[in-house]
Amino acid sequence: MEQSVNYLGLIPLFPLLGAVLIGLLHVFTCNRTKLPEKVYGILACVGPVLSFVMALKVFVALKGLPPESRFLVHKAFTWFSVGDLHINMGFLADPLSCLMLLFVTFIGSLIHIYSIGYMGGDKNYGKFFAYMNLFLGSMLVLVLGDGPVVMFVGWEGVGLCSYLLISFYSEDRSNVLAGNKAFIVNRVGDLGFVLGMSFLFWAIGAQGFDYLSLKAHVNDPAMTQGVLLTVCLLLFVGATGKSAQIPLYVWLPDAMAGPTPVSALIHAATMVTAGVYMVARFSFLYAEVALAGSIVAWVGILTALLAAIFGMFQEDIKKVLAYSTVSQLGYMFAGVGVAAYSAGIFHVFTHAFFKALLFLGAGSVIYALHHEQNIWKMGGLKNKMPKTYVTMVIGALALAGCPPFSGFFSKDEILYSALATGHFGIWAVGVLVAGMTAYYTFRMIFVVFHGEPRDHHAYEHAQESPAVMTVPLIILAVGALFAGLLNLPAIFGGDQIVSHWLAPSVTEHHPHAGVFIEILAIGASVVAFAIGIKIAYAKFGKGAPEPSFTGFADFAYHKFYVDELYDKVIVQPYKAIGSSIWKVIEPNVTDAPVKGVARLYMVLGTAFKVFQVGYVRVYALYMVLGLSLMSLLLSQSLN
Amino acid sequence: MMHCYLYLSIILFCLGIVGVIARRNVFTVFMSVELMLNAANLAFITFSRVHESMDGHVLAMMVMAVAAAEAALALAVVILLHKHKSKLDTNVFSLLKG
Amino acid sequence: MFEHVLSVIIFLPILAGLILLATPASRSVARFTGLAVSLATLVLSLDLYAGFQATGHLEFVENIPWIESLGISYALGVDGISLFILMAGSVLLPLVYFVFGTREKGYYANLLLVQGAMAGAVCAADMILFYIFWEVMLLPVFFMLGLYGGPQRLPATLKITLYTIAGSLLMLAAIVYLGVSYHAQFGEWSFAMDKMAALNLTGRVAAVAFFGFMIAFAIKIPLFPFHTWLPDAYTEAPTATTFVLSAIMAKIGVYGVIRFVVPVFDLEFARFAILLAYAGVIGMMYCGLAAIAQKDFKRMLAFSSASHMGVIALGVFCMNIQALTGSIYQIVAHATSTGVLFLFAGILEERTNTRTIDDLGGIAAKAPVFALYFAIAMLASVGLPGTSGFIGEFMIVLGAIKFNTAVGVLAGTTLIIGVCYMLWMFQRVFFEKTASRSENFKELSLVEGLAFLPVILLIIVMGIYPHPFLSKITPSTALQFAQPASVVAQAPASNAQNLGLTIEQK
Amino acid sequence: MFADGLFIGFAVLAVLGAVGLVLFRHPMNGAMSFVVTLISLAGLYALLSAKLIFALQLIVYAGAIMSLIVFIIMFLNIQPGDLPQEETKLFYVLGGGIVVLPIGLFLAKIVKSLPEHSTEILGNNFGGVKEVGLLLFRDWLIPFEIVSILLLVSLVGAVILAGKRGTTK
């Protein structure tokens, strides 16, 4: 059933080796003569491109197998093995991971190429590419890992790299704090993942702790509903951390502190999609407990709503995109939550294209304006940067869910699945969010590219980015345009290639609802899109002044004060507990018995000091007194 | 008769103790110690006579030798102290005071 | 491989140290001798490691009767558990001589003494011998801390010495109790560790003896709430001493628990394990929280070390093979990561003349290699997969979940707690704007860089390919769990037997 | 009876001498009164047939040691002003007597429980020089030698202690 191929391990190895090589080169040259940037750029792109080629090879190999036995495995070595716990450093390529593999390496490579231009002139050029390669390598480990533990390696690896890349401009404290936040919040999620893994192991892990064995034993008696629910929810906690869902989404907007290609890499291709991928990977567990799925779906759709609200009021171009990512991730979770795993993954797939496109486009704008990120200082750029403008509009249309574009099909698939499985609430919120998405996306487009330039000085100097940056944009734009067609539903004459491709990997039951439901879903989405874009055009189409927010808008502008709330409720008390332990509890409670013993000796010493008068005869007197007392006692007993 | 000797020995011994603890003059204290040694010697000799064995005599000689050694050292110390403080008061020397 | 290799590993450093102390050697001679001896020990240990068969039982056994009337013998041997603590010491200690080149002769001599004593404590297979090495271990620490420590060293020295001695005396009492019980039950005197497992200990006295051992080891580890000597001692001690204390000596406490408490007091251990596990977890959280409040990076590392030791101790108390193996693996991982971090802290202190986190900043830009090394050690310390810290921590949490869900969940929070203070410190010291004190921070020299390289590589190799190491540990840990089960099963029957025995004796 | 009379006489003298030692303010007076005690004790030793000890007591104790003490007292040239002011001496002595009383009574009780024994003077060579000497060199040789070392050590010690100031200055 499974076929072993040893080139699987090479796929993550290429970028990882690249990272080590570039990192060492950078470390040893950064304070001396610097290597030319080209060396780093080329070295950095070799790894991802080679991985992409290997991914294609994997795809071809899988394609050549009959659908039900599309598994390629590679056991590199025994990782650790203690008692019942046998963990191999093993890799698994099946349709699901292959799909992820293809677009991760593809988009990752494009972002690397783009970065050659974007990062030009940075003094830590080499460091940047080392981190990027490490990031991609970790993501590939995550995707290819044959079991939860190997996945966890990549899982934490991307967390680390996001920390390193977000705090890349480390001289500025706020950037480093954003990095810290990302790592720590991710770690909270990781705790859930580790605990989930542990419970899963003690239930059914003894016979082998990789996906295929777990899947085979999922109906064991040890796997009660309670255990299943616990495991699913704990794993989902991990997913909320990595994929920025309520309540752990707070790190993602701050992650904009890193260089723009990093944001693209984090948001589009790699890190944030890991949560969705993980839930899909464990679909055989989630399929067993409906409750867990519902929770996932509701958390997802509420995150989508919340992030959309925030997104409508942001002024930083990257923050708008960041909240749109959070929002789209919410959709994906709604999708996998209602057991439409292929729809969720398909949205991951299309989202990777248009979000990478949007971020790289935004990066192009920022690059042209010399690192200006406030949209209220832009405007009228469409004439200056035509390629960027066109590609970004394509991306925006895809994000907003305009019918022929990729985002439409994937989002519609999710909303349709929600409706078809009877989750009307999720569907309704989803439609609402679709409208809001259209609104804030085009608000951004209109403000940045249309109207009159707001900052004339910056406008004068703005120019189209070099080809090394625009070519990836164009490639991604093509992807954003047509990727949706891959999974064309039957109603449009397609045959859902992606869903069928994924079928062997995920455990899902395609709902069969009537054509009416399907048309209702599509219609509602289109209407929501139209309303959203219309409002945006009405308000910002002809150029608009920077608004000042009041009331609810102000509240939303400040992101409902969630960051402040977390700071007050978690961070400050945490620090307060820390310092109270150090300043109050440690000296007065924990150390008190020890100090008490010392004090006891001191007190006894002072008490007995009185007798040490220093006169020899008094010491003699003590002796005689003792003798005398002894004599008294003894003479009692002498008779 | 033996009892009488021993009672005398006890009386002398007790007087020696009183001398040590009640007086502050270094010489008196020192001689009181000697007095206690002599009281012990008397008891040795008495018992030696009673048992008609001369081991007690040997011990008495030892005690005398020790007393002599002690006298030499003690007097050297007294001289030293007198040089230091020109006092013969034991209360002056209270370095052990806590 | 020759017959008395363990004795040589133990006594070569001790003899060298004594000779150094006795002769008026200069500093450089002392340093060179120390380096040469520790490298020789390293070579011997590597040879030992290569020759280790992983049978699970003691290997390289030496057994010479010593005080025959009491059955005390000079018995040495290593198994998978002690081997790794021995190796950690042998691998890490040469670093000190590379890094700190300008210390007094006594500093190096004491370092040699403590190295030998630690090797002795780990290899001893006789309780009395163990006790002797255990006490000898403390002496050099006393001198190094008291003579070469920071400005507040004297209270710290007194505290650690009295605290540890108090624990040791309890242990001595417990050891004597074991010996006497053995005599009462089997009619012959013996203090050999492996024979003690056959004892059947019940009743209140056994519980008292159990706590005698436990408190001694808890102080050394240090386990909450016996950790209060640690922050002062770790902070004030010269770097090498802190390194020795945290990297190896604390581990011998854990080793003691595994060696004495688990096999001998199996009933008591099973009874009190939950209590001890909570002590470990609470200690981990308590020290981790206290670490965030520190302004002094060495003290912060001290608390971090205590926090990790809580997790390691927890692994022992969880009574399953994953947790125990994880614990032992984590011992080595912690020795390499936190131990090296302490050395780095010493370098930082030496080059900037400050221990205050707020005084520093921007070192990553000045010294990229140092920052890279520090980051790798730090990430290992927070248990990132791919570094040595992950394997052990994961297995401990896994085992803790099996043992008790609440304990396991709390143990898992080490993932978060550790990362909070470490990142905070790393941010202040290595990132941000370059502070005036770190303006002229010197990068690691070539010698230093090369000296640290093997350890840094070890951290990564142990994270990526731990199997060869684990395969040497697991036979021994598996044996630990083979024994208690059978003893527990026999317990009721042999209790009756025991009763009969004591009556007969009366 | 004559021996009894002698005993009573010596005993009274010895006690009076001892009381004088304790009470006299000036050490010279005390030393003189102590000599009386020592001589009376020598007499008592003679009554107990200890001929050698009788001689040694007179020669070594009353002679050598006491003259050393008196010599030092005179050497230091003690003026009455140098002496400690001991106004409450009598209280101390009385208090000391009260403290010591139980010890004395206890010892007396023990003595009383011993069987009475005659102490007539023995006619043979008991306590003679030859007999004691033989005993000393046969059975007590090692203690004897140790005592000689003790004396040597104390001699050296005394020289160093007393001579310290003079030589170092």
> How much is the pLDDT for A119?
81
pLDDT category of residue C205 using cuts at 50, 70 and 90: confident
Q: Are residues D160 and D120 in the same domain?
A: no
pTM, to two decimals: 0.84
Number of CB pairs, chain B paired with chain D, less than 8 A apart: 239
Q: Which chain A residues are within 8 Å of B36, Cβ to Cβ? A: none
Q: Are residues D65 and D99 in the same domain?
A: yes
Greatest alpha-carbon pair distance for chain B in Å reads: 50
Picking from C90, C107, C74, C109, the residue whose alpha carbon sits closest to that of residue C9 is C90
B88 touching chain A per CB within 8 A: no
Give ∠ CA B42-B47-B50 in degrees, rounded to 5. Answer: 130
B86 touching chain D per CB within 8 A: yes
> How much is the pLDDT for D33?
94
Which among A621, A632, A638 has CB closest to D102?
A632
- For the sheet containing A72-82, what is the strand order? A3-4, A72-82, A85-93
Determine contact, residues C49/C87, Cβ cutoff 8 Å: yes
Query: DSSP characters for C206-242?
Result: HHHHHHHHHHHHHHHTTPTTS-TTHHHHHHHS-HHHH
Determine contact, residues C122/C253, Cβ cutoff 8 Å: no
Phi-psi region of D43 (alpha: psi -120 to 50; beta: other; left: phi over 0): alpha
Taking only the tens place, the pLDDT of each residue in B15-34 is 999 999 998 888 999 999 99
Please enumerate in sequence order all residues whose Cβ is within 8 A of that of A603, keeping only pairs 6 or more positions apart, or say none. Answer: none
Please answer yes or no on whether B19 and D21 come within 8 Å at the CB atom.
yes
D54 touching chain B per CB within 8 A: no
Q: What are phi and psi of D39, to 5 degrees?
A: -65, -40
Percentage of residues of chain D with pLDDT beyond 90 = 56
- Structural domain boundaries in chain B: 2-88
Q: In chain B, whose CA is at the least distance from the CA of A614?
A: B97
Min distance A9 CA to chain C CA atoms (Å): 14
D84 touching chain A per CB within 8 A: no
Q: Are residues D20 and D94 in the same domain?
A: yes
Please answer yes or no on whether A170 and C228 come within 8 Å at the CB atom.
no
Q: Which chain B residues are within 8 Å of D108, Cβ to Cβ? A: 7, 10
| Average of per-residue pLDDT across D122-139 | 88
Q: Are residues D102 and D162 in the same domain?
A: no
Number of CB pairs, chain A paired with chain C, less than 8 A apart: 154
Q: Are residues D118 and D152 in the same domain?
A: no
Angle between helices D66-75 and B26-51 (to 10 degrees): 180
Please answer yes or no on whether D34 and B6 come within 8 Å at the CB atom.
no
pLDDT at C484 over 70: no
Give Cα A64 to chain centroid, integer Å.
Answer: 33
> How much is the pLDDT for D29?
92
- B 26-45: CB under 8 A from A: 29
Q: What is the mean pLDDT of each run of 10 residues along chain A (639 residues)?
A: 73 90 84 76 88 90 83 85 86 88 88 84 84 90 90 90 87 86 90 91 84 84 86 91 86 83 78 88 87 90 91 86 89 88 87 87 85 81 84 89 84 86 87 90 86 77 80 86 78 74 76 76 87 86 74 80 86 88 85 88 90 85 93 84
Q: Are residues D16 and D95 in the same domain?
A: yes
Q: Is the peptide bond before C225 cis (omega within 30 degrees of 0)?
A: yes
> How much is the pLDDT for A343?
86
Please enumerate in sequence order all residues whose Cβ is within 8 A of that of C194, keeping only pairs 6 or more positions apart, or say none. Answer: C58, C125
What is the rounded distance in angstroms from the CA atom of residue A125 to the CA atom of residue A146?
A: 34
- Candidates D35, D51, D53: best to mutate against B (most CBs of B within 10 A) is D53
Determine contact, residues A479/A353, Cβ cutoff 8 Å: yes
> How much is the pLDDT for C494?
41
Min distance B74 CA to chain A CA atoms (Å): 14
Q: Which chain D residues are within 8 Å of B49, Cβ to Cβ? A: 48-50, 119, 122
The number of C-alpha atoms within 13 Å of A196 and in the hemisphere containing its C-beta is 26
Query: CA separation (Å) from B42 to A240, A612, D48?
Result: 100, 35, 9
Helix (H) or strand (E) holding C67: strand C59-67
Min distance D107 CA to chain A CA atoms (Å): 8
Q: Are residues D160 and D131 in the same domain?
A: no
Phi-psi region of A630 (alpha: psi -120 to 50; beta: other; left: phi over 0): alpha
**Tokens of residue A338, six digits:** 């209602």
pLDDT at C491 over 50: no
In the block, which residue shows the tokens 């994929």?
A: A243
Query: DSSP characters for A160-224?
Result: HHHHHHHT-STTSHHHHHHHHHHHHHHHHHHHHHHHHHHHHHHHHGGG--SHHHHHHTTTSTT--
Please answer yes or no on whether D100 and A631 come within 8 Å at the CB atom.
no
Q: Which amino acid is at D97?
A: G
pLDDT category of residue B62 using cuts at 50, 70 and 90: very high
Please answer yes or no on whether C423 and A81 come within 8 Å at the CB atom.
no
> How much is the pLDDT for D164?
62
Min distance A181 CA to chain B CA atoms (Å): 59
Residue A378 vs residue C154, higher pLDDT: C154
**Tokens of residue A37, six digits:** 């940037």
Helix (H) or strand (E) holding C54: none
B51 touching chain D per CB within 8 A: no
Helix, coil or strand: residue B89: strand
Please enumerate in sequence order all residues whose Cβ is within 8 A of that of C282, keeping only pairs 6 or more positions apart, or say none. Answer: C224, C310
Min distance A605 CA to chain B CA atoms (Å): 9
Q: Which chain D residues are within 8 Å of B36, Cβ to Cβ? A: none
Q: Which chain D residues are within 8 Å of A632, Cβ to Cβ? A: 102, 106
pLDDT at C485 over 50: no
Q: Are residues D147 and D163 in the same domain?
A: yes
Highest mean pLDDT among A377-381, B92-96, C9-13: C9-13
Give percent helix, percent strand, percent coil of chain D, each to the nearest 5.
80, 0, 20
> How much is the pLDDT for C353?
85
Give ∠ CA C226-C232-C234 in degrees, rounded to 5. Answer: 90
Q: Do chains B and C touch (3 or more CB pairs under 8 A)?
A: no
Please enumerate in sequence order all residues whose Cβ is within 8 A of that of D40, keeping only pairs 6 or more positions apart, or say none. Answer: D10, D11, D13, D14, D17
Please answer yes or no on whether C290 and A184 come within 8 Å at the CB atom.
no
pLDDT category of residue C499 using cuts at 50, 70 and 90: very low
Taking only the tens place, the pLDDT of each residue in D30-65 is 999 999 999 999 999 999 999 999 999 999 988 889
Determine contact, residues B71/D156, Cβ cutoff 8 Å: no
Query: CA separation (Å) from D123 to A583, B52, C408?
Result: 90, 12, 98
Please answer yes or no on whether B54 and D118 come within 8 Å at the CB atom.
no
Give Cα A93 to chain centroid, integer Å.
Answer: 22
Min distance D98 CA to chain A CA atoms (Å): 10
Taking only the tens place, the pLDDT of each residue in A449-503 is 887 777 777 777 777 878 888 888 888 888 888 887 777 777 776 677 778 788 7
Burial class, A256, CB count within 10 angstroms (exposed 0-12 / middle 13-18 / buried 19+): buried
Which among D19, D93, D104 has CB closest to B10?
D104
Burial class, C34, CB count within 10 angstroms (exposed 0-12 / middle 13-18 / buried 19+): buried
> How many residues does this entry show for chain A?
639
Please answer yes or no on whether B10 and D158 come within 8 Å at the CB atom.
no
Taking only the tens place, the pLDDT of each residue in A298-339 is 999 999 999 999 888 888 888 888 889 889 999 899 988 888
Give percent helix, percent strand, percent coil of chain B, each to the nearest 5.
85, 0, 15
**Tokens of residue B41, six digits:** 């010697």
Helix, coil or strand: residue A43: helix
What residues form DSSP beta bridges with D15?
none
Greatest alpha-carbon pair distance for chain C in Å reads: 79
Please answer yes or no on whether A77 and C467 come within 8 Å at the CB atom.
yes
In the block, which residue shows the tokens 């190429």?
A: A113
CATH class (in words) of the domain with range B2-88: mainly alpha
- Structural domain boundaries in chain C: 5-505
Q: What is the DSSP letter of B25?
A: B
Which among C366, C372, C470 has CB closest to A27?
C372
The number of distinct structural domains making up chain D is 2
| D neighbour chains, 3+ CB pairs within 8 Å | A, B
Picking from A131, A256, A254, A240, the residue whose alpha carbon sits closest to that of residue A181 is A254
Host domain of residue D100: 2-79+86-138
B91 touching chain A per CB within 8 A: yes
D106 touching chain A per CB within 8 A: yes
Q: Are residues D104 and D130 in the same domain?
A: yes
pLDDT category of residue C493 using cuts at 50, 70 and 90: very low
| Average of per-residue pLDDT across C25-47 | 90
| Average of per-residue pLDDT across C144-162 | 87
Helix, coil or strand: residue C395: helix
